[in-house]
Amino acid sequence: MEAETATARRTTIEELLNDTAFESGDNSMKGDVTSEAYSACLNDFIKGDHKQCLEGMLNRGLLSPEVLSVNYEIWKLFVGACQEVDFHVLGTSVMKVLRINFAQTEFSATEQKLTGKPPTELIAGLLAYLKCSYKIAEQENSVTSMKQLAELVKKTIMNVSSVVKTIQETRQLRNLVMFYLISLQGRGLQCRSLKALFTILCDETPTLRVALQRETSSGDTFENRIIQELDTLAEKKNPGLSHSSKSPGRRKSKTPHTKKVDEKFHSHHTPETKPQPAAAHNNILKPRKKPQTQLFSLPRLVRFQNTLTSLSRNLLNKKIAPVVVLVLLFVLKKSGTISQLARKIPALLRRLVTLLNILMSI
């Protein structure tokens, strides 16, 4: 992708400068003061000193609205230098000129300058201008300007895709599309689904898809190359997401070791299985934890026996004792005590039988 970008950048600059008007011996400028100033600034550009080129153009009066509006060659040099330079190293005076010339309201004037130019030069000039406008919006950190510029670039893509015919023209169109996707939507507006955005762009612009179906020098189509570059970019940003998307079935299937770990986890942490042993334990200990359900303890039975014995000795005789016992049993039955006593441990019943035998033998 970097090689493609470098190639696109060189192609753009070459097309901006590959014109006879850029030659120092051009007849239209020969012997003119403007041509001398232009030649000096062009030399700075060729040397790669784009800052000095722009400062020289400003100091020599080449950046005045009158010159830029009528001299197409000086305008191309100006746009080419602005496309390459870092705006943060420029002075206040130069930046003031840049903000005026690369305002989005001036884009229609730029289109007029490029009217009638070959498609390759047309797209290269528009792309260079739009890149400069993007750098202004980026420096101002304006989301609104970014959104407006994105709509402007999208409209430009729709317009120029219908005039693209050759491989070189398609390459310039591809550069414009990548600028729209990566720089504007990706970096400027923080859009993550660039591939989906590209699909939508092609669906909305049938002429764009037709143009990108042309084959590159490697034999692949421009559309496939763009998709591959977007996939590579997504992999660099989210390597884990890319790996999982290539093998979606692996996350669903579990190895035997994973199943064992899951079974151990659920056996220790599942809410339904944890209370079961505790519930069984509580059921076993329930009678022991509620001694109050035993209505008569052994000391109470002894006292009850002594009371009955004393009563039988002092008040009752042998004829009345059985009647008293029957009455007592009848009272206990009515109150439900006998049924409760019958469910108690056998030792209690044996003691009760022994007590009744004693009472009956009196």
pLDDT tens column, 1-20: 444 444 444 445 455 445 44
**pLDDT for 310 beyond 80:** no
**pLDDT for 99 beyond 90:** yes
Domain ranges of the chain: 2-240, 292-360
Of the ranges 270-274, 296-300, 308-312, 314-318, which one carries the lowest mean pLDDT score? Answer: 270-274
Those residues whose C-beta lies under 8 Å from the C-beta of residue 316, and which sit 6 or more positions away, are: 324
Closest CA to 93 of 51, 142, 34, 44: 51
Chain-centre distance for alpha carbon 202: 24
Helix (H) or strand (E) holding 32: none
Length of the chain: 362
Outline where 270-345 has alpha helix (H). Answer: 275-289, 298-314, 321-335, 337-342
Q: Tell me what pLDDT residue 216 has.
A: 85
**pLDDT for 173 beyond 90:** yes
178 vs 171: CA distance, rounded Å: 11
7 vs 48: CA distance, rounded Å: 17
Token digits of residue 260: 């064992």
HSE of 75, CA atoms in CB hemisphere, 13 A: 19
193-249: pLDDT as tens digits = 999 999 999 999 999 999 999 988 888 899 999 999 999 988 887 766 544 444 444
241-275: pLDDT as tens digits = 544 444 444 444 444 444 443 443 344 444 444 44
Q: Tell me if 201 sits within 8 A of 208, measured CB to CB.
A: yes
Q: Tell me what pLDDT residue 227 has.
A: 94
19-38: pLDDT as tens digits = 443 443 444 444 467 889 99
45 vs 37: CA distance, rounded Å: 13
**pLDDT for 293 beyond 90:** no
More confident residue, 357 or 262: 357
Q: Tell me what pLDDT residue 33 has.
A: 72
Token digits of residue 158: 């729709």
When pLDDT is averaged across residues 154-168 and rounded to a whole number, the result is 94
When pLDDT is averaged across residues 90-119 and rounded to a whole number, the result is 92
Q: Tell me if 208 sits within 8 A of 157, measured CB to CB.
A: yes
Q: Report the percent of the chain where pLDDT is more than 90.
A: 48
Token digits of residue 186: 């990706």
